Amino acid sequence: MALVRVFSPLTESEVIVATALLEAHEIPAFVHNRGIGSVLPGVQINAYNTQSILVPEENVADAVELLAELKQPASEATAPLSASDKVRVLLEGLLCGWFVPGSRSRSNARETDGD
């Protein structure tokens, strides 16, 4: 029984969701580097500290179909930056990433608009 890589999750939550989804559909799965991948943060080096989900060859088509939604990046509707936000981003870049606080009243207004 050969195993085939069907998904390489980027976060721990993606690993949990993908394995739970496969388990719910009774598709056996093995997570390569499950133990060490979450312990070694930083630069992701393939087959060293990245995690991969492997399934048997006969289940590859079903697994790929189930995990297709996880592979697509979430489409977030982002509003264009205002002039003050652009200045803040520029200042943060010039100050080598130091945090420059923005306006609190606008961030609260954005949260209430989304509800």
Q: How confident is the model at residue 101 (pLDDT cuts 50, 70, 90)?
A: low
Q: How confident is the model at residue 7 (pLDDT cuts 50, 70, 90)?
A: very high
Residue 88: give the domain boundaries: 83-114
CATH number of residue 42's parent domain? 3.30.70.1530
Same domain, 16 and 52: yes
Of 10, 6, 19, the closest CA to residue 38 belongs to 10
Q: Which tokens hold the place of 103? A: 């306006």
Average pLDDT, integer, range 85-108: 71
Same domain, 109 and 61: no
Distance from C-alpha of 55 to C-alpha of 29, rounded to nearest angstrom = 5
pLDDT in tens, 53-72: 999 999 999 999 999 988 77
Contacts of 14 (CB under 8 A, 6+ apart): 70
Q: Where is pLDDT greater, at 24 or 85? A: 24
